[in-house]
Chains A and B, each alone.
Chain A
Amino acid sequence: MATQAVRLFRKLDGLFAVYKPQGVHWKLVRDTVETNLLKAVNSFSPPAPQCMVQFQVLPSGETSNSTNLTVTASKLPTLSDHHLVAGPQFNNICVGVGHRLDAFSSGVLVLGLGNGNTALDSLYRSHVSRDYILEGEFGMATNDFTHTGRIIERSTYEHITQDKLEHVLAMIQGANQKALIMYSQVDLHTQEAYELAVKGMLHPQYKSPPILTGLRCLHFQLPHFTLEVQCVNETQKYLRKLLHEVGLELRSTAVCNKVRRTRDGPFKIEDALTHRNWTADAIIPSVTYFHRTTQKIRKNDRKAVNHLWISVSAKCIKCIVYNS
């Protein structure tokens, strides 16, 4: 008969998304979520103390006037299982973090609970892309590509128009498409590769540098501009450097004001939890909501592993046939 605490603990299993605020380290987010869940799980009343056989020297039995003391065994409640002596029932909950976000960025951060952490591995191996919204400003260049860094250079930007910006973005997109085709290791002259490319299902096999699969300008008002980016294998520093390079291509300089992740694979920003909702009350419904998504992620990973085995074994058979 499981206690309430154990039943609640068993529900903490799966993946969910959290909206990481700007300026906060991802580890603090993970620790806060773990602390809140532990508080919820340890808040129930502790179970009744267990009884242990203890030997006591008591006056012996039947007649009241006998003064003999004998050693008798009796079952008494023991204090060694009391929560003040043995500690809380749960000491830690496994909370894992998906694709990390650095302290300057904000946005969707996927966390895994309990057995869901294995699904995080599947998410890493899968070829999901991530959506970012980058806000930049022309006129400055800093050492860490953000508006809070040490300014290295200032420049004019009045000559920049939206046309020129679109031209530069198209150039960057072209270069990234070529890289995508190269790293996806498909021969584009074949029919299957063409169909995959048309559907947009090309992705890099194995390790690759950051590749942008989509790039467009959302808003342009000098000196501020906003870009939307879809990418794989990226880091947030790379995206800030991208803005810096856009500025350089336009014969000016640019810094990044904000990096915001709006989608991480199937986890969208509408379903991410803000910091006032990082409690068990809101996390458990969110985990249930993403249950199907988690199952799909695991299934895709298994299919991908099977394909890998098939392709590796096919290569082995080819080698054997060739050699013999």
Chain B
Amino acid sequence: MYLCRRCVGFLHARLMPVKAQNWGNLGYVLPLAKLCYLKQPTLRGFPQGYQNLSQRKKEMGQSCGIRCLADQQATPHRQTSDIFEQKKDSNDITTFKNSNLHHIASTQVSFPAYLDAVPCPSPFEEISEQDAIQITVPPGLPPVTFTLRDYVDKSETLQKLVQLGVNLFKLEQRRNVGSMLVRLDFQGDVSPRLFFLKDLGVEDTQLGPLLSKNPFILTESLENLQGRVSYLKSKKFSSEAVAAMVSKAPYLLNFSVERMDNRLGFFQQQLGLSAQKTRDVVTRLPRLLCGSIEPVKENLKVCELQFGFRKNEIQHIVSKVPKVLTANKRKLTQVFDFVHNTMGVPHSLIAKFPQVLNAKFIRIKERHLFLDYLGRAHYEPAHPNYISLQRLVSLPDDVFCTEVALVSLKDFERFQKTL
């Protein structure tokens, strides 16, 4: 912390020759930048790199600069007298040409005598009250930083966001989001949108995670948001459904009405489902309205042509497990290939238990091979020891072992280590 202007000037006068010694060429120019950055930033003559340096020095207060200049002690490593004389004469910065700088760097000139006459005040000297009040305290906040930790104690917006449960750590790693959040005004920007979300029916505990995933909802205009909600309500989505959709897919209200309309129309037309069923599917998986249509088209084509499901079977699968539309094509194919070809389960049975297509491949494989080894791998309903696909896939490991395979968990683990 700075104690008084005099001691600051004294410290700088002491430090700069040391810096000049250590940094060579740069050192000659660094104190120059400090000295010359006095009043107006007309630094036309300066090389570009040093302007940043001088901007950082700006924080230290211009008064320090003036003091430094006045209190210089004559040392043999100081700059040439030319600059000093110019400074002494006029307080405006004159344009220094580059050649001048280089000239400065290369020459070593002895100091003029008048500088010796100015006595350096002791740092322990008491100063008057007016002088003390004129000391400018630099702000604690850095102008440029890489983390929001430096600002969170001073910014009301950031504090309220943390209290809501927004994960600032995750958000500040995204480009430009940190600056956007710092510039927001809580009363003007954030609270109207929070009230809007509350009116929509989004729960308080969900607001934090929602904003962590989509902070750009705070910069979307309220008319747009209300327009999109009224569009969804016009399509006969109930208010609870709209609230659930916004919680599950935080980016939903950032998309335009035309885009949402386009997607809803596509799903209704492609899947061939009734309006109510389409609404159900979209309510359960609202990110269908956010993402691109191409992967969904491809998945539908895969189901129809590659797997060989009929239209009504696909409709049943999608209405039961909408995730099949956005699943990874390669993983879906792997699971279907194993279930249909290796386990020998027909299409009708897979369509009856579509959660099999959503399960992890390794789980299905291990459990089927275990049942096969035990001789209990019967999946057709007609068989007396029939095991339904739903039980195969959804039960946890210990329940599966005791109820379906009728062995202990240890045996299943031993079998897993032989695969």
Q: Does B372 count as interface, using CB distance less than 8 angstroms?
A: no
Q: Name the contact of B417 in the complex, choosing from A19, A78, A82 (C-beta under 8 A).
A: A19
**A154 CA to B27 CA in the complex, in Å?**
78
Q: B177 to chain A: closest CB distance in Å? A: 14
Q: Name the contact of B413 in the complex, choosing from A21, A84, A85, A274 (C-beta under 8 A).
A: A274
A81's nearest neighbour on chain B, judged by CB, is B149
- Do residues B150 and A84 form an inter-chain contact, with CB atoms below 8 A? no
Contacting residues, chain A, for B413 (C-beta < 8 A): 274
B137's nearest neighbour on chain A, judged by CB, is A55
Q: Name the contact of B149 in the complex, choosing from A54, A80, A272 (C-beta under 8 A).
A: A80
Q: Does A284 count as interface, using CB distance less than 8 angstroms?
A: no
* Segment of B163-171, B245-253, B346-354 in the binding face: B163-171
- Do residues B362 and A23 form an inter-chain contact, with CB atoms below 8 A? yes
Q: Given that A85-B162, A275-B362 are known contacts, is A80 also in contact with B153, CB under 8 Å in the complex?
A: yes
Q: A172 to chain B: closest CB distance in Å? A: 25
Q: Chain B: interface residue count, which band?
A: 20 to 34
**A229 CA to B269 CA in the complex, in Å?**
59
Binary contact readout B133-165 vs A (1 if CB under 8 angstroms, 0 otherwise): 000000000000000111011000011001001
Q: Does A175 count as interface, using CB distance less than 8 angstroms?
A: no
- Do residues B153 and A272 form an inter-chain contact, with CB atoms below 8 A? no
Q: Given that A274-B413, A276-B397 are known contacts, is A84 also in contact with B419, CB under 8 Å in the complex?
A: no
Interface residues of A in 81-123 (CB under 8 A from B): 82-88, 106
Binary contact readout B349-376 vs A (1 if CB under 8 angstroms, 0 otherwise): 0000000000000100010000000000
Interface residues of B in 157-200 (CB under 8 A from A): 158-159, 162, 165-169
Residue among B150, B366, B417 with max Cβ neighbours from chain A (10 Å):
B417
Q: Given that A79-B152, A274-B413, A274-B416 are known contacts, is A84 also in contact with B362, CB under 8 Å in the complex?
A: no
Interface residues of A in 134-165 (CB under 8 A from B): none
- Do residues B417 and A272 form an inter-chain contact, with CB atoms below 8 A? yes
Q: A209 to chain B: closest CB distance in Å? A: 30
Interface residues of A in 49-93 (CB under 8 A from B): 52, 54, 78-80, 82-88
**A220 CA to B168 CA in the complex, in Å?**
62
Q: Given that A54-B153, A276-B397 are known contacts, is A106 also in contact with B162, CB under 8 Å in the complex?
A: no
- Do residues B162 and A82 form an inter-chain contact, with CB atoms below 8 A? yes
Q: Name the contact of A84 in the complex, choosing from B169, B416, B417, B418 (C-beta under 8 A).
A: B169
Contacting residues, chain A, for B158 (C-beta < 8 A): 79
**A83 CA to B363 CA in the complex, in Å?**
35
**A78 CA to B413 CA in the complex, in Å?**
49
Q: Does A269 count as interface, using CB distance less than 8 angstroms?
A: yes
The 8 closest A-B pairs by CB, nearest first: A87-B169, A80-B149, A79-B152, A85-B168, A274-B416, A84-B167, A274-B413, A85-B152
* 15 A-B pairs whose Cβ atoms sit less than 8 Å apart in the complex: A19-B416, A21-B416, A21-B419, A22-B419, A79-B158, A80-B149, A80-B152, A82-B162, A84-B162, A84-B168, A85-B168, A106-B419, A260-B418, A274-B416, A275-B416
Show the binding face of B for A, using Cβ within 8 Å. 148-150, 152-153, 158-159, 162, 165-169, 362, 366, 397, 413, 416-419
Show the binding face of A for B, using Cβ within 8 Å. 19, 21-24, 52, 54, 78-80, 82-88, 106, 260, 269, 272, 274-276
18 A-B pairs besides A54-B153, A86-B149, A272-B417 with CB distance below 8 A are A21-B366, A21-B416, A24-B362, A78-B153, A79-B158, A79-B159, A80-B150, A80-B153, A82-B152, A82-B162, A83-B169, A85-B162, A85-B169, A87-B169, A106-B419, A260-B418, A275-B416, A276-B397
